Amino acid sequence: MYGSASTHDIPAKATTGLENEDPILLAEFEARIARGEKIEPTDWMPQLYRKQLTRMIEQHAHSEIIGSLPEGTWITRAPGFRRKMAQMAKVQDEVGHAQLLYSAAETLGKTREQMLSDLVNGKSKYSNVFNYPTPTWADSNVISWLIDAGAIVNQLANAKGSYGPYCRALDRICAEEAFHLKYGHDAVVHMATGTPIQRKMMQEALNRWWPAIMTFFGPSDKMSTHTEILMRWKVKMATNDACRQQFLDMYVPKIWEIGLTLPDANLRKNEDGVWEFSEPDWEDFKRVINGDGPCNAERIAVRRAAEENGAWVRRAMQQPQARYVRPLA
Amino acid sequence: MLSSFDPRINRLELPDAPSIPTDKVALDQFPTYEVFHQRKENAAYAYVGPVHAPEADVAFLFAKEQFSRRFPCTGMWVAPTSAIQVTPYGNDQESVYNLLPLLPVESATADATGQQAYDIFHLKKRGKAHAHVGQVSASSPEAALQAAKAAFGDQRPVVNVWVIRSADLLRSDDEDRDMWTTTPDKKYREAISYKVQDRIDRFKQEG
Ligand SMILES: [Fe+2]
Ligand SMILES: [Fe+2]
Ligand SMILES: [Fe+2]
């Protein structure tokens, strides 16, 4: 899901380090991207490109694996056998997405196990929306539909990026996401057009999730000094603001058409076709992404327990003579 | 103990804060395997991605789960990443065979001892997937690449070539082909089985 090019955690004054790069190699690299050719793992690339892509793909992978937790916990309580099966299939897809993405990030030099270590030790970030709880089935449906919808906006953009292994992983991921989106939409429509109690439950879940959804694409890009260079290198394919606008344009009408409301009195499309909305609370966003949200500790603890409980299986399978090499592509 | 409103989490009895940071790097870093799949009968095998596994059989199981779970597949091969010889990458539109040093191709009549089969894969465009083009027989991976140039070098473009000793590929068996027919009974995983428009229309009419 959730491939947010979350460059919002780049220190605003970080240097690009470009002055230390070989100017001829850098020119060839940029020319290749300008021609529309993809970069493959053995190609020369600037340090900043490697670093930003590693961080972005790694965060995307973590978001898939952590994002599977709030929906995963609803599998046994999903209403009806068919929904249990579908919810389980979706969760399995998301964990699979994490594996595809870890492998893509590995081609840049960081091992999967190092990434997983950094996740359970709280050193890495993942999509901030998963630091919020899913108290009801309707909350799980909001994730399935609207968080996945946001993720698809990001992923379709990123799939046109410049790094070959990330593009290959995203092509596969996007193909699988089509089911998630339809499944999520179906679940939300079912509740919203159902009994008054179902409808109320869905409206309340939407009210709870809307502020987090509005922060999903990250703060306005004006705040990052690297946006321009990352867009030239096709690491970042669309600004956070452009993604947010696209999302609102595609999904707000679909929310309204089933009689649901959104808890923002300023939300509307102006005559220029631009969506206006109340500015999200970015201070709160910062506080939560830095660890102080309702579910941060729980998400990491669950992930860590999974790692620890599975360690004996991996230990039993280990071959002493086996030698790790990073994947090729 | 970590407390959650979710009873399923509470039953795990997780500690509030972990004391020692976990460093799983040394323990769990399995080797990687590269996976090729066949989308339909008689199609060329194409690269789909890597898996991490302790050995080839397990890699095959992981690959089947990861890459054949959702879309049609009629066969799968896996090879250890370390067993794959990789040429440099060329530019799009070019043939990387042109960058290879010209060495004499082993004559087909040469002594057959020490000759082995190698599978050859071409990447046509950066960002796409390597696809199987055929097999050659040679006494080393380098010789196999020369033989591949002779056999397939007229194809254009070829951005990158992978050479894999055929014995290093673990291949699904034709006899086991029914293991790939898992998709038809899982319609709930298809976007197309969710038809929600009727319900929306009915809701709007009643509204
Ligand atoms: Fe998702
Ligand atoms: Fe998804
Ligand atoms: Fe996903």
What is the 3-class SS of chain A, one letter each residue?
A: CCCCCCHHHCCCCCCCCHHHCCHHHHHHHHHHHHCCCCECCCCCCCHHHHHHHHHHHHHHHHHHHHHHHHHHCCCCCCCCHHHHHHHHHHHHHHHHHHHHHHHHHHCCCCCHHHHHHHHHCCCCCCCHHHHCCCCCHHHHHHHHHHHHHHHHHHHHHHCCCCEHHHHHHHHHHHHHHHHHHHHHHHHHHHHHCCCHHHHHHHHHHHHHHHHHHHHCCCCCHHHCCCHHHHHHCCCCCCCHHHHHHHHHHHHHHHHHHCCCCCCCCCCEECCCCCEECCCCCHHHHHHHHHHHCCCHHHHHHHHHHHHHHHHHHHHHHCCCCCCCCCCCC
The pLDDT score that the predictor gives to residue A7 is: 42
- The CATH architecture assigned to A5-322 reads Up-down Bundle (1.20)
B72 touches chain A (CB under 8 A): no
List all residues 6 or more positions away from A150 whose beta carbon is below 8 Å from its beta carbon: A2, A213, A216, A217, A243, A247
Evaluate if pTM is beyond 0.90.
yes
pLDDT at B107 over 90: no
A242 touches chain B (CB under 8 A): no
Burial of B4 (C-beta count, 10 Å sphere; 0-12/13-18/19+): buried
Name the minimum distance, in Å, from the CA of B78 to any CA of chain A.
13
Which ligand approaches the C-alpha of residue A98 most closely?
A: 3
Q: What is the mean pLDDT of residues A288-311?
A: 91
pLDDT single digits (tens) B139-174? 999 999 999 999 999 998 999 999 999 999 999 998
Of B31, B47, B92, the CB nearest to A322: B31
Ligand 1: centre distance to CA B28 (Å):
27
Q: Is residue B63 part of a domain?
A: yes
Which residues from B are below 8 Å from A293, CB to CB? none
Alpha helices of chain B — where are they, by DSSP H? 7-10, 25-28, 56-67, 141-152, 197-206
Cβ atoms within 10 A of the Cβ of A40, count?
Answer: 20
Interface with B, mutate which of A171, A173, A324 (most B CBs under 10 A): A324
Of B4, B24, B58, the CB nearest to A298: B4
A28 touches chain B (CB under 8 A): no
Ligand 2: centre distance to CA A176 (Å):
7
* CB within 8 Å: B31 and A120: no
Q: Is residue B179 part of a domain?
A: no
Q: Is residue B201 part of a domain?
A: no
Q: What is the mean pLDDT of residues B90-106?
A: 83
Domain boundaries, chain A: 5-322
A84 touches chain B (CB under 8 A): no
Would you tell me which residues 178-237 of chain A have a C-beta closer than 8 angstroms to some C-beta of chain B?
A: 178-179, 181-183, 185-186, 189-190, 192-193
Which residues from A are below 8 Å from B192, CB to CB? 182
Six-digit token string for A255: 């929310």
Which residues partner with B52 through β-bridges?
Answer: B32
The pLDDT score that the predictor gives to residue B102 is: 66
Quote ipTM for the complex. 0.92
Which ligand approaches the C-alpha of residue A179 most closely?
A: 2
| Tally of domains within chain B | 1
Pair B87, B121: CB distance under 8 Å: no
pLDDT at B183 over 70: no
Q: Is residue B119 part of a domain?
A: yes
Which residues from A are below 8 Å from B37, CB to CB? none
Name the minimum distance, in Å, from the CA of A223 to any CA of chain B.
31
The pLDDT score that the predictor gives to residue A155 is: 95
pLDDT single digits (tens) A252-296? 999 999 999 999 999 999 999 999 999 999 999 999 999 999 999
pLDDT single digits (tens) A4-53? 544 445 444 557 788 889 999 999 999 999 999 999 999 999 999 999 99
Would you tell me which residues 270-309 of chain A have a C-beta closer than 8 angstroms to some C-beta of chain B?
A: 295, 297-298, 301-302, 304-305, 307-308
Would you tell me which residues 93-122 of chain B have a C-beta closer than 8 angstroms to some C-beta of chain A?
A: none
pLDDT single digits (tens) A163-198? 999 999 999 999 999 999 999 999 999 999 999 999
Q: Is residue B77 part of a domain?
A: yes
* CB within 8 Å: A193 and B81: no
**Closest residue, chain A, to B81 (C-alpha):** A327
Which residues from B are below 8 Å from A164, CB to CB? 126-127
Name the minimum distance, in Å, from the CA of B25 to any CA of chain A.
5
The pLDDT score that the predictor gives to residue A1 is: 47
Q: Is residue B104 part of a domain?
A: yes
* CB within 8 Å: A328 and B27: no
Between CA B132 and CA B140, with CA B137 as vertex, the angle to 5 degrees is 100
* CB within 8 Å: B70 and A93: yes
* CB within 8 Å: A42 and B86: yes
* CB within 8 Å: A258 and B203: yes
**Domain ranges, residue B78:** 3-174
A261 touches chain B (CB under 8 A): no
Band the pLDDT of A327: cuts 50, 70, 90.
Answer: very high
A8 touches chain B (CB under 8 A): no
Name the minimum distance, in Å, from the CA of B112 to any CA of chain A.
32
* CB within 8 Å: B188 and A82: yes
Ligand 1: centre distance to CA A212 (Å):
15
Q: What is the mean pLDDT of residues B172-201?
A: 88
Q: What is the mean pLDDT of residues B34-47?
A: 96
Q: Is residue B159 part of a domain?
A: yes
Would you tell me which residues 181-200 of chain B have a C-beta closer than 8 angstroms to some C-beta of chain A?
A: 186, 188-192, 194, 196, 199-200
Would you tell me which residues 133-162 of chain A have a C-beta closer than 8 angstroms to some C-beta of chain B?
A: 133, 135
